[in-house]
Amino acid sequence: MGFLVTFIVGYAFFALRHGDTSSSSRPKEDFPSERAASARNTDMVDAYHNLMMDDEQKFQMALDQANRLSDLLGLVEKAYYRPEKAFEISQSSFKLIIDKIARLYPREALDYYESCPTDAMMNEEMYRHILSIWADLDFTASMAYLQNKPDIFNWDFARNWGVFADRRFKTNPQDCIDLFRDFSAEMQRWLIKESNMDAGLQEALLPLIKDQVLVVQVREDLANIKAEEEEERRRLLDQVDAAWQKKDTSRQPSQVEQWKEAWEKEYPTAETMVSAIRSLPEREDRLYLLKWITKARKVSIDSDYETAEVWMERVSTVLRDGGEIPDALPELPYINDQSYRKLLAEWLPQQSPAMQRAWGEAVVRFQEPAQSLAWAERLAIESLRHDMRDLAWERWVATSAREAAPALMKQATPDEQEIHLPDAVYSWAMWDYTAAKAWLDAQPDSPAKTQAMEKISGT
């Protein structure tokens, strides 16, 4: 009985104490309201990204935020493809990581991968790619790095010099000349012997060789190489001639094929080409020959392209007098094409609306968007101006949505805003939802704003 009374009294005392603690000593909030609001915003952005972004877009965001070497090396570990791994990444994205490493931490990354810390195959591949990109970015620094490594007289340095110097010589020959001049006679001899440099580079470096005995040897080697190349060229020409003679003569080459074969060796005048086009009875043949004539051509197989002025003179004559409008965009050099497009941009507004429509895209898609919008106003008719402006806005949104959105609000027509503003704000929100949403909220009400709001809200 005494035990029971004691238990009841103790339990009552404990319950009373617990109740006082709950009411008077309740813990206060750990964070101020501002931090809670910030956390909610962050959670909202993270949720938005998880909902709206695919793996490739999430990778791009991670790459943008990775600015330390350790972060970038971690991305490499995740992105490097192995068959047993579930996560795969596109080759272009993998190159973006390598490019960023080569720009920010080339020396440190090369030292890291040279020590072969993890996967041997991956380390070797990363080392090779980073060094290659660094050599393109800063040839002198990359070669100095290699030259300062121990055991410099090895096949690896000779191979890298041969590959990177040959490549650099085509764009910045003076860099190769300056470096080679500073090498010791022993190093020069080693590179000439082991690096497998291109004959053109060796010929340019010949006056810098300090060992006169080596100079005589290199001259002889270059002479032999030229003789062998000439002999090989003649042999190949003989093989082509023999094959042509053995070819089935039952099918005679078409007139267009005959002209192309003859003109590959020596281009005729533009007037001759015009006559050739006009003489063809089938429009399909005329357009095919016109496309071939109007593409930028190399003076010879191994030479540079003709100048933009020479190309424009031929094209303007053929298109003026040939009687046909091209059905495809002009074929211009893969690189260094701006001089061609600049002349085209000046010439095209003076031509017929049909010609402007045929080649207008070749100007709009390869200029800065703001320039393209101004250029479109020079075109002949309203429908053309509308279509070219539409292309310009489309490209601007695709290449720089954050800049395109404000420009659309200032320069675009209401119809253009409705077409392009939702895409611009959506692309911007992919990378910075908070900024894109704040900017959109500040804009005046319009159908374009409503559509953009609906698109980023996922409704």
Please give the pLDDT value at position 179: 86
For residue 305, report the phi and psi dihedrals to the nearest 5 degrees: -70, 155
Final residue before a domain boundary, out of 117, 137, 157: 137
Please give the pLDDT value at position 41: 53
Residue at 364 is within a domain? no
Residue at 17 is within a domain? no
Q: Tell me: do 126 and 154 sit in the same domain.
A: no
CA distances from 121 to 81, 155, 193, 230 (A): 11, 19, 29, 41
User: Residue 237 corresponds to which tokens in the numbers above?
Assistant: 């020409």
Q: Tell me: do 58 and 93 sit in the same domain.
A: yes
Please give the pLDDT value at position 152: 46
For residue 361, report the phi and psi dihedrals to the nearest 5 degrees: -60, -30
Left if phi > 0, otherwise alpha if psi is -120 to 50, otherwise beta: which for 268? beta
Q: Tell me: do 232 and 285 sit in the same domain.
A: no
Final residue before a domain boundary, out of 336, 368, 398: 336
Q: What is the CA radius of gyration of the chain?
A: 34
Number of domains in the chain: 4
DSSP summary character for residue 348:
G
Q: Tell me: do 88 and 165 sit in the same domain.
A: no
Compute the distance between CA of residue 370 and CA of residue 349 in angstroms, rounded to an integer: 17
Please give the pLDDT value at position 312: 93
- The SS3 of residue 298 is strand
Q: Tell me: do 162 and 214 sit in the same domain.
A: yes
Please give the pLDDT value at position 90: 52
Q: Tell me: do 81 and 155 sit in the same domain.
A: no
Residue at 6 is within a domain? no
What residue type is assigned to position 186 of the chain?
A: E
Please give the pLDDT value at position 245: 64
Q: Tell me: do 118 and 77 sit in the same domain.
A: yes
Q: Tell me: do 153 and 232 sit in the same domain.
A: yes
- The SS3 of residue 305 is strand
Please give the pLDDT value at position 36: 47
Residue at 423 is within a domain? yes
Q: Tell me: do 175 and 229 sit in the same domain.
A: yes
What residue type is assigned to position 304 of the chain?
A: D
Final residue before a domain boundary, out of 311, 336, 361: 336
Expressed as residue numbers, the domain containing 74 is 54-137
Using CB atoms within 10 Å of the CB of residue 321, give its burial: 0 to 12 exposed, 13 to 18 middle, 19+ buried: middle
Residue at 41 is within a domain? no
**Residues of the chain below pLDDT 50:** 1-39, 82-89, 152-153, 459
Q: Tell me: do 111 and 190 sit in the same domain.
A: no
Residue at 177 is within a domain? yes
Q: Which residue has the tokens 């012997």?
A: 193
Could you give the dihedral angle defined by the CA atoms of residues 173, 177, 179 and 185, in that order, rounded to the nearest 10 degrees? Answer: 150
- The SS3 of residue 233 is helix
Please give the pLDDT value at position 89: 46
Q: Tell me: do 277 and 322 sit in the same domain.
A: yes
CA-based nearest residue to 332, from 357, 365, 380: 365
Q: Tell me: do 224 and 267 sit in the same domain.
A: no
Residue at 409 is within a domain? no
Residue at 174 is within a domain? yes
